[in-house]
Amino acid sequence: MTKTDNGSTDGAETWEALADRLVSSEEGVEHGRMMSAEAVTYQGKVFAFRSTKSGTAGLGVRLGRDFDFPSIPTDAWTHLAPFKTKPPMKDWIIVADHQAHHWPGLANIALTLMREKQENCP
| Report field, pTM of the whole predicted structure over 0.85 | yes
Q: Could you tell me the CATH number of the domain that includes residue 31?
A: 3.90.1150
d(CA 83, CA 56): 13
Q: Is residue 43 situated within a structural domain? A: yes
Q: Is residue 58 situated within a structural domain? A: yes
Q: Is residue 32 situated within a structural domain? A: yes
Q: Is residue 15 situated within a structural domain? A: yes
Q: Is residue 56 situated within a structural domain? A: yes
Q: Is residue 4 situated within a structural domain? A: no
The residues near 64 (Cβ < 8 Å, ≥ 6 apart) are 91, 113, 117
Collapsing DSSP to helix, strand or coil, 53 comes out as coil
Q: Is residue 1 situated within a structural domain? A: no
The residues near 50 (Cβ < 8 Å, ≥ 6 apart) are 11, 12, 15, 19, 37, 38, 39, 59, 60
Q: Is residue 96 situated within a structural domain? A: yes
Q: Which amino acid, residue 97?
A: D
Segments forming the whole domain that contains residue 56: 11-120
pLDDT truncated to tens, each residue of the chain (122 aa)?
344 333 345 789 999 999 999 999 999 999 999 988 999 999 999 999 999 876 778 999 999 999 999 999 998 999 998 888 999 999 999 999 999 999 999 999 999 999 998 888 76
Asked whether the beta carbons of 103 and 18 are under 8 A apart, the reply is: yes
**Number of domains making up the chain:** 1
